[in-house]
């Protein structure tokens, strides 16, 4: 049986839920629930809604569609708004790629329709085709610093378009949107990168970016902690090593 605290935390997200795994794999589900919904949470200070947001981002990056759809329901149950959930999905496109995100966009819409949430949601874009480049540069400078400017200045001519894309598309089209603030968007990006693996230089860059927008080292450790049950130990320990490399212990 899950312990009392694990059961309470699980019930907050999934009230009145009867798990099919409880019937078929009772020993496993007890171990997982006690770990993920009690022991792990004792070592993290993330509020429930933020925990759900980074979990959704992680599940998209790892292509866990069934678990993602279940967690969308849980996120709605604890007060994450439909706009915030859609922005998490959109935020995943420049990092995981549309090929991976497309099914999650459709999956989100399916859950929303089941819950009676009208679509499309209210627009959240703040840019136009004419302003996206300048607004993107302003945003990327605020969050990342001079990295894109340096690429634009030093990259070979046949590669400068990648810096332009970072400015007008990654930051101009997505980071400038309403619905999530800079600090949350950077935690989502960090969550996706450590979950998908194979992007250590980008992880290090976004550890520094998180620091720039006010997410301290403990905040990042808290995110890694709550994601551990979903991403496993190898990617968790890699993420911890990268955080320690960029933000050494005092």
Domain assignment present for 10: no
CA dihedral sign of residues 40, 217, 189, 179? positive
pLDDT for 232: 98
CA distance 105 to 60: 10
Domain identity same for 149 and 207: no
Q: What share of the chain in percent tops pLDDT 90?
A: 90
Say if residue 50 is in the same domain as residue 171. no
Angle, helix 217-231 to helix 48-61, in steps of 10 degrees: 60
- Based on the fold, state whether residues 58 and 171 are members of the same structural domain: no
In a domain, 23, yes or no: no
For residue 19, tell me if it sits in a domain.
no
> How many separate domains does the chain show?
2
Token pair, residue 79, equals: 């007060």
- Would you state the pLDDT for residue 90? 98
* Per-residue pLDDT at 22 exceeds 80: yes
Residue 6 placed within a domain: no
pLDDT at position 55 over 80: yes
pLDDT given at position 239? 98
Alpha carbon 123 to chain centroid distance? 21
E strands, 10-95, in order: none
What is the per-residue pLDDT across 58-105, written as a single tens digit (0 to 9) for each? 999 999 999 999 999 999 999 999 999 999 999 999 999 999 999 999
Within 8 A by CB and 6+ apart from 91, the residues are 57, 174, 180, 185, 188, 189
CA distance from start to end of the chain:
41
pLDDT of residue 139: 97
Q: Say if residue 169 is in the same domain as residue 118.
A: no
Residue 142 has pLDDT above 70, yes or no: yes
Of the given ranges (3-7, 24-28, 149-153), which has the lowest mean pLDDT?
A: 3-7
Q: Which domain holds residue 90?
A: 44-124+177-246
Q: Are residues 156 and 225 in the same domain?
A: no
Among residues 115, 146, 175, the one where a domain terminates is: 175
Residue 49: what pLDDT?
98
């Amino acid at each position: 049986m899950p312990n009392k605290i694990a059961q309470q935390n699980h019930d907050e997200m999934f009230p009145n839920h009867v798990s099919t795994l409880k019937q078929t794999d009772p020993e496993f589900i007890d171990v997982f629930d006690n770990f993920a919904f009690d022991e792990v949470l004792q070592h993290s200070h993330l509020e429930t809604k933020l925990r759900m947001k980074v979990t959704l981002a992680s599940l998209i990056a790892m292509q866990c569609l069934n678990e993602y759809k279940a967690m969308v329901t849980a996120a709605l149950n604890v007060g994450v708004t439909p706009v915030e959930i859609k922005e998490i999905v959109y935020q995943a496109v420049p990092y995981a790629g549309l090929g991976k995100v497309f099914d999650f966009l459709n999956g989100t819409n399916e859950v929303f329709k089941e819950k009676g949430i009208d679509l499309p949601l209210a627009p959240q874009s703040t840019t136009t085709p004419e302003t996206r480049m300048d607004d993107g540069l302003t945003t990327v400078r605020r969050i990342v610093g001079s990295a894109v400017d340096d690429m634009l200045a030093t990259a070979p001519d046949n590669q400068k378009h990648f810096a332009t894309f970072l400015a007008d598309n990654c930051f101009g089209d997505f980071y400038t949107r309403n619905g999530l603030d800079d600090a949350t968007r950077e935690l989502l990006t960090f969550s996706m990168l450590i979950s998908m693996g194979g992007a250590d230089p980008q992880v290090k860059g976004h550890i520094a970016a998180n620091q720039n927008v006010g997410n301290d080292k403990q905040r990042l450790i808290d995110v890694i902690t709550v994601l551990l049950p979903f991403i496993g130990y190898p990617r968790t320990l890699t993420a911890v090593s990268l955080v320690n490399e960029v933000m050494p212990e005092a």
